[in-house]
Chains A and B, each alone.
Chain A
């Protein structure tokens, strides 16, 4: 079960990035999985290098976080690229992000090859706890806590901070915000970068528990979409709830009947769409 929550925490990060970008810019970013993958690979490399350079083992989490955040630097140039088609039909925006998916696949292959990358046992450095009959690596709990903290942080940020309010206003009504003097270019660039960061950090944080593989990006997309559909497009709370649901569903499916792991998720997605088409917490209109 806790494995499910761990997975949910990471999923939440990626989905939050998706939601943020969709809510503000109305672009559904197929490449969010690619950011996740990039974060994972870069995280492995960064930690491996840091440990080799003498970093005390328990600090590897900091390096992971740093690696994830540093990758957000690709945000602004990517946003410039997407900017060229903001006024086009959303099908084209979707296709451009698909082009990014293809390109990132090979970028990763170029830098890291095709074999999976792992951090080995490094993450067990925090030890393991017995919780409810199963052994859980403390690291996973750390990630869950981090996920929760980030969720709270995002919530506070959107509700209280000045930029957060601008983001929400732009999501509700783009023209109005522009008319009120909000600099759309800056908002878009920042929001997109934040979205990228959420994805890359998510990928970096997951890496101790799984291996970084070439397919991880395109595999994650489907789950991220499931989260977003269940939670409702454009909603942060939806990302949180959706991630929890998907994470727990996968965990229970694996425990009960592994064959139907993803199928269970799809069933939930379809049921939500039939019963409550706009998701559980929908705010933005698709």
Chain B
């Protein structure tokens, strides 16, 4: 198991945001967290990514207890996160932004006298990452001049540049037009394969995307896990679907829509779409 939440509870005063959430993500998995607003999705991601400490319960990354370790420690441990609201460095160029991530990954953050400009290895890698995300045309442009969609790509690209084992994405396709959503998802999966990302966890609202790309869907409702199953199994359960989507749905795109599989650590085959998964 790469990332686990074990009976996590999070209370804000008397308000219970998470009420005993247990969830495990293994290598090779693409997990989507869904649920209506206020279900606790972002809180769960905050707890998983170390931004918030759980009130009770454990969070384990590769077996180590990481509850509340903080984004810096977790980023160095191999977990990266992209936020829902786009976060960029306004005055830094695309290239420089990626360079920050790569420098951090290589542990060179404190190098005082090393020349940055002459580091061929660094800038080659910057170019590579940029091209995977289609940003290579904008390497010298300051991030604040980029269109919103490219800013989002840059935000995600810099997270990927950390070569994390697990990446958490908070609504990666929000604010993006439908036509571009699939393009972004393809880029994400391709990038994950190229940069050794072993698992992707995303919070997503767009059900087409969710059902088209996920290996597993975790449905949250009022701070609890309503369902944790494969897309096909979930589809078969009208009750759960009604809660998540707010209406019954007749048809969702099958998982085959995704063109590339995630690299799996042990090489196990992906769960068969027809196998019913556990429902809680």
Chains A and B touch (C-beta atoms under 8 A apart): no
Which positions in A face B, CB cutoff 8 Å? none
